Structure 1
Amino acid sequence: MKIWFDGKLVDREDAKVSVFDHGVLYGDGCFEGIRFYDGKIFRLEDHLVRFYNSARYIFLTIPFTMDELAAACCDTVNASGLKDGYIRLVVTRGEGNLGLNPASCPRACVFAIVSEITLYPAEMYEKGLTLITSSVRRNAPAALCPQVKSLNYLNNIMAKQEAVQRGAGEALMLNEQGNVAECTGDNIFIVRDGVVTTPPVTDGALDGITRQAVIDICIELEIPVDERTINRYDVICADECFLTGTAAEVIPVSSLDGHSISDGMAGPITTKILAHYQNMVRATGTVC
């Protein structure tokens, strides 16, 4: 396996981050998860814009241009020999001292990993995921803007651990007001009376790339789509529910906290959106 590491492709065993890197010590950095299909990277520019915006928000200078990182992603995909796969693009604050002050880190560290990924078993895309509501609340925007894909994912990890311990596929995370924000790694959508609805980013949801792709699909297919505040009642009483994410793609939800959502199977609108999404990712993208 080849890793793109600070400007060049190296063998996996040579891609090493210092134990003094503030990404390791404090989770100080940002990342992106990106998918490619048939050798084409899906919405690469959108991912890179979000990557640079996350870094800008935390005063982290990426020592490469956007074009250079786009080329790096393509080079790593080509070196992998994979046609379908996943790219993890990471920037850390870089090596410094043991203090919190980022000024001790003169240069950020950037790397890209390409690998295969299977987040959920294939049958889950027909039967749907079971959800539980996590006791862990989504990070408050006043503490850390949810649009920043920070390397510190402990908030989400703790919620995911709850799902694992309770035998669920995913955990629903609420915001400080008790309204739905998102799941641990995915955005959430519900369908009721033919209208597709997802929480706004102001409620703590990440502005997901797949989330936006699904909104675009709804507009193209003339399916009414809305962004508004929802709560657990809305999810439990929905006609359909599904999650979206780069790794998960579009996956139906069968239940929340033991409450079956409709008949507990993938609904017709979810199925239609998933099929259109699968066509979209293979028909578009940056050719490497």
Structure 2
Amino acid sequence: MKEKIIFANDNFIKKSKASIPFDDGSFQKGNSIFESIRFYKNNVVQIDNHLKRLFKGLTYFKFQIRYSRKELKQIINQLIIKNNLKSGIVNLIISDAFDVSNPLASKTRIYISLREVRKLKKEPVKIIFLDESDYPVIRFKNSIKINNYAGNIRAMRHAASQKCFDAVFFNDKKILTESTMRNIFFIKQKKIITPPLSLGILNGTTRQTIKEIAQFHGYEYKERFIKLDEIIEMDEAFLTSCAHGVVACFWKGWNNSNVITPKIKNFLNKALLGD
């Protein structure tokens, strides 16, 4: 198998030759932001939305990079061609070194790599619900993807140990927020419901598209607080992410009727992937 090529230190290099400097901000302090972007049949899906969020993060953290959005697009497209991949995920990380003795100093680095998307063996997938106070997860008013997922990963591993695909968090008021790396949606009486951004959840790019699709196809769409004790009354539930799009889910003691979810999944695939 041909060795993968990544982009690091302003160069395209073999993955085995890549290295991270000891003073790298992401390595030392988690001082970095990232985007995960789907590509499919020469189309980098929703690239403009992803880069808009990325540059919002750069502004917030005052990271300085020498590449424009157009140049980042070119680098990503070149990387896909060099790796000869038809579909997968672009992982784009921007880190900034941090010196406690000189906190205003800045040294930003960019890392871009690709990975393939593993197809799910079956759907719906099983999920569990976890109290987020037991995990160091970040709740933040600005939709920025920060490279600090230790709590999310621990929760996902716990879910996997219970033979579940993912875990959905609830807060100290027993209100649902999001899953470890995905947004959560419910359907009740043909109404699509999802937690609001005011809870500090990520405004995922797929989440945004679901809202547009739902309204375009005549489904009522509502963002509101969802209590843990009311999920038993829901008709359907699904997770969303750029990697898998819409994924129907269920949990112990509740089965998904899965009537509208496949339609939403189909609408999304046509809108983003052309399938």
- Cross-structure match for 1:123: 122
In 1, distance between residues paired with 2:31 and 2:101? 9
Q: 1:34-73 residue pairs with structure 2 within 5 A? A: 34-73=37-76
TM-score, L = length of structure 1: 0.87
Could you tell me how far 1:248 is from its partner in structure 2? 2.6
Could you tell me how far 1:100 is from its partner in structure 2? 8.0
The answer on 1:113 being equivalent to 2:109 is: no
TM-score, L = length of structure 2: 0.91
Contact 2:190 2:219 in 1 (8 A): yes
Change (3 A) 1:16 1:177: same
- Cross-structure match for 1:228: 224
String of CA shifts for 1:120-170, please: whole Å, max 9, x gaps: 62312xxx12111113337464xx446221111112112212212222211
The answer on 1:30 being equivalent to 2:33 is: yes
Could you tell me how far 1:206 is from its partner in structure 2? 0.6
Contact 2:132 2:171 in 1 (8 A): no
1:270 corresponds to which letter in structure 2?
Answer: T
In 2, distance between residues paired with 1:74 and 1:176? 43
Which residue, out of 176, 192, 202, partners 1:206? 202
- Higher relative contact order, chain-length normalized (CA < 8 Å, sep 6+): 1
Contact 2:141 2:197 in 1 (8 A): no
Alignment gaps of 5+ in structure 2: none
Q: Quote the sequence identity (%).
A: 24
The answer on 1:89 being equivalent to 2:92 is: yes
Q: 1:1-288 residue pairs with structure 2 within 5 A? A: 1-94=4-97, 96-97=98-99, 99=100, 102-104=103-105, 106-118=106-118, 121-124=120-123, 128-137=124-133, 139=137, 141=139, 144-145=140-141, 147-255=143-251, 258-261=252-255, 264=256, 267-283=258-274
Could you tell me how far 1:194 is from its partner in structure 2? 0.6
String of CA shifts for 1:63-87, please: whole Å, max 9, x gaps: 3211111111111111111111110
Could you tell me how far 1:102 is from its partner in structure 2? 4.3
Alignment gaps of 5+ in structure 1: none
Change (3 A) 1:79 1:100: farther
1:103 corresponds to which letter in structure 2?
Answer: L
Matched residue pairs, number? 270
Q: Cα RMSD over matched residues?
A: 2.0
In 1, distance between residues paired with 2:157 and 2:67? 35
